[in-house]
Structure 1
């Protein structure tokens, strides 16, 4: 190779390296974005029939979900023996579940055991025990 080509290449590389080194200095921190205000209905706006109907339907949906939450439990089985089962649904939350003749267990033929993750649907007894109608073992 020609010596002048080598010297020229080295010079170009040196200039490029110093240019990149100067460009990589710490950038100034970006300003935090301003939060977007949440839209609200002005207090002077009267509730129209449509708005009131929407609010009533939303309230009914929330009430129905609260009722259904009492009849469902999802978690890990901590105890299982014949017709009695206990499900851990949180760090310090346990729910007693009672099986009966006719309780459907999905997938068919599976048996819930300790450590199995299950989803139980049924009805709540006055003492708080969940009478299981349907148990789904999560895979």
Structure 2
């Protein structure tokens, strides 16, 4: 995906499901979605450890299956070895874009999403890329 395509996608996106969202402010799975929330995106936090609690103005759900609205971006904070277990619910959710955070790559998972027509950005930080593309610091 080119920078121009990515920027256009981020401009039209409104909702971001965060798989592996965390409540510890020192963790990337907290401060990255917080940054995006502060930029006006609707954050849908997913983490069974914190289900029922509130993050970014929304109730945390235990799994992607509990999200009952369209998702523009799925932001993934899960180790590569855990991704295939999430594949059925990701395919059912059909996000407009799957974003695997820095350090996260899984060729089989990525290929399955692409074959299903879901574009993938892998091993890049959504916050860093948003700041770079929009000149925000």
Q: Same fold (TM over 0.5)?
A: no
More helix by share: 2
Relative contact order, higher structure (CA 8 A, sep 6+)? 2
Instruction: Normalising by structure 1, report the TM-score.
Output: 0.20
- Whichever of the two has the greater Rg, that structure is 1
Instruction: Normalising by structure 2, report the TM-score.
Output: 0.21
